[in-house]
Structure 1
């Protein structure tokens, strides 16, 4: 029997202090039974110093503890290691950074499920 593939999901926002942290926490929580099949990452293009305390508190109210989480920077390695990506509330700066990472990935032929952002 083949080993099931591990899905690697990357949530990206600017500060990695709110939306992407919440999305990653919820997916991790919902996928806990399939933890051997889902890897979740959360990063930001310009990470804040800490996760927003209101986010930590809101998640604690539903039984999810992210108090030990810290904002992490968006890197090429994080994008290359992921096969599903989600960007929340993209600013032009974040869209440009994301599209540059996609260009690097396309050059290395590892683009699996990521798309360029539509320009507004």
Structure 2
């Protein structure tokens, strides 16, 4: 099965058939903003709406907000901040030796306080960049 809109529609129809559900009983579809889902030409929603004219599209508000914040922050944040945070996490997460060195240096510089955890920023975890920066 392909991962384009046609492949996804085929998968939806297989599941609907398996559970003996009529595609015309669909009321709405909730998706992220991926073009395969919402493209006006070849997106899943557009193709499903051709079969189910009353179908309503509900875009994920969290995904939309994440995209808006990411776009807006490009002007006021360092260009490579997301890359720096991701690579910092990658550098330490892959090595227990580096993690121990980080703990020792942090403790030395911060009056023996426990070190902050280095967390991973993730594009699909809405607004996770703030958490990664603060820690």
TM-score range, shorter chain: under 0.3
Query: What is the TM-score with the length of structure 1 in the denominator?
Result: 0.25
TM-score (norm 2): 0.23
Q: Which has the higher helix share?
A: 2
